Amino acid sequence: MVHEPNNWGRFGPDDQRGTLNLLTPDVVLAALRAATTGEVLSLAMPIRGATSSPAPTTVPHLRGRPLPQHFMSVDGGDYAAGARPIGEGLYVADDALIVTPHGTTTHMDALCHMWSGDQVYNGHPAARVRSYGATRCGIEHVGGVVARGVLFDVPRRLGLDHLPADFRIPAQLLEEIATPRPGDVAVIRTGWPLVWERSKEEYWSGQPGLSAEAGGWLAAHDVSVVACDNAAIGGLNARGMADEGLPDDLHLLLLHRHGIHLIEMLWLEELGASGRTEFVFVAAPLRIEGGTGSPITPLAIL
């Protein structure tokens, strides 16, 4: 039995989009008014892939996750070795990219990514998440997200560069910064990616994140997406795990119970430095049928 409160059935028995349903045309048009200067900031980490170099390890990631791999099927070296051009004076480079997004790069979680019991969000059978993908609540149902973004820059509020690893953000602190409207994307800055350059071991020693109380506060305000620069929305301990029980687990609270999509591992330093709390948030996952998540490049339009 899913814990209460939840959004199961709120948008109909067949719903697979959750609170993204709140992004009606009128809400999207109203969100566009949050842009005032037209400056565009990328909120994504770089994807650095290689098969024989340490490049992927230079980007923050969770320990033990398979890192991105970038292969060139044809490149300049092939032509130098005598490969024929595809036409007279015409050359082409071609590549392939393998990315397992969870814990390795900026990505969006689908509503089928995590669950408890035998049902994913909205009561869809968990048995429909198969080896070839999820036939319910896959990432392909997201489409595009255009919404008002609201930045909760928690370390700046506290006068810090980044939050300590054991810090769990209370709802009261979010409330002091801003109050989201229905359909908003709540963007949470912890500053934790800054730790990676100083010490990978410190980055892996735990992570700050939302408390369950703060997650419930955001859900009660009907946000469409919760996005964060950490790797799990909630905090992690030194074993890379959440300490909360099932009723308070942030993924179960937001994804499973409320149908709120999650975006993790953002880069928010330029956005934080801008001083803007409100902006236009734009993102679209790859249309991976049955995918439990997808790499994305979110944009903030100031």
Mean pLDDT on 42-59: 88
CATH class of 18-45+102-301: alpha beta
Q: Is residue 233 scored above 90 in pLDDT?
A: yes
Query: Which of 130-134, 204-208, 286-290 is predicted with the least confidence, judged by mean pLDDT?
Result: 130-134
Q: What are the φ/ψ torsions at residue 115 (nearest 5 degrees)?
A: -160, 175
Cα(274)–Cα(300) distance, integer angstroms: 11
The model's pLDDT over 79-101, given as tens digits with 9 standing for 90+, comes to: 899 888 888 889 899 988 999 99
The model's pLDDT over 137-158, given as tens digits with 9 standing for 90+, comes to: 999 999 999 999 999 999 999 9
pLDDT at position 56 is: 82
pTM: predicted TM-score of the whole model, two decimal places: 0.96
Q: Give the three-class secondary structure for 272.
A: helix
**Nearest alpha-carbon partner for 192 in 60, 28, 290, 3:** 60
pLDDT at position 4 is: 85
Residue with tokens 């928690």: 154
Ranges of each domain in the chain: 18-45+102-301, 69-98
| 3 CB burial (10 A radius; 0-12, 13-18, 19+) | middle
Q: Are strands 94-98 and 69-74 parallel, antiparallel or unpaired?
A: antiparallel
Pull the structure tokens for residue 208.
Answer: 């700050």
Query: What is the pLDDT confidence band of residue 127, given thresholds at 50, 70 and 90?
Result: very high
Residue with tokens 């392909």: 140
pLDDT at position 55 is: 84
Mean pLDDT on 171-192: 98
Query: What is the pLDDT confidence band of residue 1, given thresholds at 50, 70 and 90?
Result: low
